[in-house]
Amino acid sequence: MIGHTLRAGDVVLLTTAASVQFLKPIVVRVIRELPDRYTYDGWLWLDAYELNRKSEAVARRELFVMRAGLQVQVPGPRHGTESRVPAPIRRRAAVGVG
């Protein structure tokens, strides 16, 4: 459940709590809310990208959803910004020394 305006980049899980159309839940990345469209109280229009399991955008969608049913997800690291730990340096043992 969410009570604030969604921001660009928010990742949201949509289930039947958001709308009956999501019998099969989907995950979307918000582009923006569409506040100029008429809605019923507690509902909103979203412009969003549907994401696959790798968090890649696969389709752009305009969605009519119930605000109380949105489940904002904790975002993972952005591509290219993961902190990478360098592999340890392995030294070869000297052969024939001694």
Sequence spans of domains, the chain: 11-72
Q: Which residue has the tokens 């360098």?
A: 86
Q: How far apart are CA 12 and CA 15, in angstroms?
A: 10
Average pLDDT score over residue span 6-24: 96
Residue bearing the bigger pLDDT, 23 or 2? 23
52-98: pLDDT as tens digits: 999 999 999 999 999 999 999 976 555 554 445 555 555 666 666 55
Residue 97: other Cβ atoms inside 10 A: 5
Q: What is the mean pLDDT of the chain?
A: 83
Q: What is the pTM assigned to this prediction?
A: 0.71
Q: What's the confidence (pLDDT) of residue 55?
A: 93
